[in-house]
Amino acid sequence: MFDKVLIANRGEIALRIQRACREMGIATVAIHSTADEDAMHVRLADESVCIGPPSALDSYLNIPSILAACEITGAEAVHPGYGFLSENARFAEILGEHGITFIGPSPEHIRLMGDKIMAKKTAVDLGLPVVPGSDGAVTDGLEAAKIASDIGYPVLIKAASGGGGRGMQVVRSAEALSTAVLTAQTEARNAFGDDAVYIEKFLGTPRHIEFQIISDGQGGAVHLGERDCSLQRRHQKVWEEALSPALNVEQREKLGNLVAKAMSDLGYLGVGTIEFLYENGEFYFIEMNTRLQVEHPVTELITGLDLVQEQIRIADGARLSYEQSDISFSGHAIECRINAENPKTFTPSPGLIEAYHPPGGLGVRIDSGVYAGYRVPPHYDSLIGKLIVYGRHRTECLMRLRRALDEFVIEGIETTIPLFQQLLKEPDIMNGDYDIHWLEEFLSEA
Ligand code: ADP
């Protein structure tokens, strides 16, 4: 097992990984920008290295600096967390070239799934159902028009290298299509340095349902059930729950076993998430994330597994020590993303946290790196913490979530806590009756 792991991230996820390492007796190295000198992930690490100025490009995305930090501290492995370099195949490759283990999948698999067109082709080959659409990139308006009329409007133009909910455009009529393809290509080139776009049927009322898998690259692979992440704003998840209120046991087992087998066939190593849209009883693959997800704790609460420790063990060459029949799901878990944002306009609200009192008690987990007196820097993502609540069933979970939100005190900055308090008054939310457009509609009516 590794003696020392460098955590190439910041905020709550850096702390989350530190906790896993500490329980395994592994020393931790934090990296940080000059804006994060006072961050909790730096304070609690065994060692820390400043890797650059506030801009993420010069710090958390700065591969030469991170490599130097590994060499100075003698870290044997790097955990990338999520975001930043977590899905950068070249980073994983460079670490390998320097004899440092990347805690994650092989560069080949990161690259394969990072290209959404290749990912979709792979999904088809592995026997997974996909959203109807173009077989590969579309290059001109004529070709696009043919595909769109075959699958029917509305269609969605997506960037092959897109991510984080960006690079998508809905087209509702043939007249608008060729201009939309051109605009999408230009936007994709500017945002992702790759102008490949593809076309998909735009689904009207789907849920976003994703399966967590874990695979040891040596044939062992299991699924850990699904998460329902349908509550989204601008294609970004806001609230996640496990299991989905919409699936039954047979559906779960059927698709879960299919994705686990697909990962075993692929020889995939690590944790991963296979994302689907679900509408009228049918599943459609949209993409795979080859990393730990923000919402992984809801899966941990219903399975009892520590996903970060599993990642570390597998990266160290261990085989899975359990089979699918050893995995069982108990109770219900919901995660709310607490962002430093105005709860109505969603404008970022960085600044000094004057008072901080997190909720506690049975079934309440807080993953956060903030404290009273901490200044939320303006340079990064506005996620400042996650409130994750467990109950024996969904109703208990919802009641506990309401209680926990009422206890939560964060003063000095604005947060999304009031939004979640609002949501818990909605019958649709209480009944689990919502799709990927529900939240946007709710916000536009408010
Ligand atoms: P990203 O990598 O940017 O997160 P995804 O392909 O995972 O992109 O899609 C993000 C979200 O966009 C989905 O959760 C869903 O809300 C919406 N979306 C994606 N594909 C479709 C589709 N074909 N029809 C309707 N909505 C879609």
What pLDDT, in 10s, does the model give residues 21-60? 999 999 999 999 999 999 999 999 999 999 999 999 999 9
Residue nearest to atom 11 of ligand 1 (CA): 235
Residue nearest to atom 19 of ligand 1 (CA): 286
Contact status, residue 434 vs residue 231, Cβ threshold 8 Å: yes
User: Is the bond preceding 305 in cis, omega lying within 30 degrees of 0?
Assistant: no
User: Distance, CA 307 to ligand 1 centroid (Å)?
Assistant: 25
Enzyme catalytic residues: 291
Confidence of residue 141 (pLDDT cuts 50, 70, 90): confident
One fold for 132-201 and 207-445: no
Question: What is the number of the ligand 1 atom nearest to the C-alpha of 204?
Answer: 25
Distance CA 228, CA 210 (A): 7
Say which residue the tokens 């592995």 belong to: 126
- The class that CATH gives domain 207-445 is alpha beta
Q: What is the pLDDT of residue 33?
A: 98
Q: Which CATH number fits domain 132-201: 3.90.226.10, 1.20.1440.230, 3.30.70.360, 3.30.1490.20?
A: 3.30.1490.20
Mean pLDDT along residues 157-161: 93
Mean pLDDT along residues 311-336: 98
Q: What is the pLDDT of residue 164?
A: 78
Q: Where are the domains of the chain?
A: 4-103, 132-201, 207-445
Question: What is the number of the ligand 1 atom nearest to the C-alpha of 166?
Answer: 3
Arithmetic mean of pLDDT over the chain: 97
Ligand 1 pocket (Cβ < 6 Å) reads 131, 156, 162-166, 200-203, 206, 208, 232, 235, 275, 277, 286-287, 436
Q: What is the pLDDT of residue 163?
A: 84
Mean pLDDT along residues 262-284: 97
Q: What is the pLDDT of residue 350?
A: 97
Q: Collapsing DSSP states into helix, strand and coil, what is residue 198? A: strand
Mean pLDDT along residues 101-128: 96
User: Distance, CA 178 to ligand 1 centroid (Å)?
Assistant: 21
Question: Candidates 157, 286, 291, 293: which one to mutate for ligand 1, based on the most atoms within 8 Å of Cβ?
Answer: 286
User: Distance, CA 333 to ligand 1 centroid (Å)?
Assistant: 23
Quick: pLDDT tens for 367-415.
999 999 999 999 999 999 999 999 999 999 999 999 999 999 999 999 9
What is this structure's pTM? Answer: 0.96
User: Distance, CA 163 to ligand 1 centroid (Å)?
Assistant: 9
User: Distance, CA 286 to ligand 1 centroid (Å)?
Assistant: 7
Query: 4-103, what's its fold?
Result: Rossmann fold (3.40.50)
Q: What is the pLDDT of residue 166?
A: 81
Mean pLDDT along residues 162-180: 89
Question: In the β-sheet with 47-52, what is the strand arrangement from edge to edge?
Answer: 47-52, 27-33, 4-7, 77-79, 101-102
% of the chain exceeding 70 in pLDDT: 100
Confidence of residue 421 (pLDDT cuts 50, 70, 90): very high
For residue 142, what are the CA distances in angstroms to 103, 178, 337? 44, 8, 42
Q: What is the pLDDT of residue 446?
A: 79
Question: Candidates 235, 244, 290, 440: which one to mutate for ligand 1, based on the most atoms within 8 Å of Cβ?
Answer: 235
Q: Which residues fall within 8 angstroms of residue 197, CB to CB, at 6 or more apart?
A: 137, 138, 157, 158, 159, 160, 167, 181, 184, 185, 188
Q: What is the pLDDT of residue 444?
A: 95
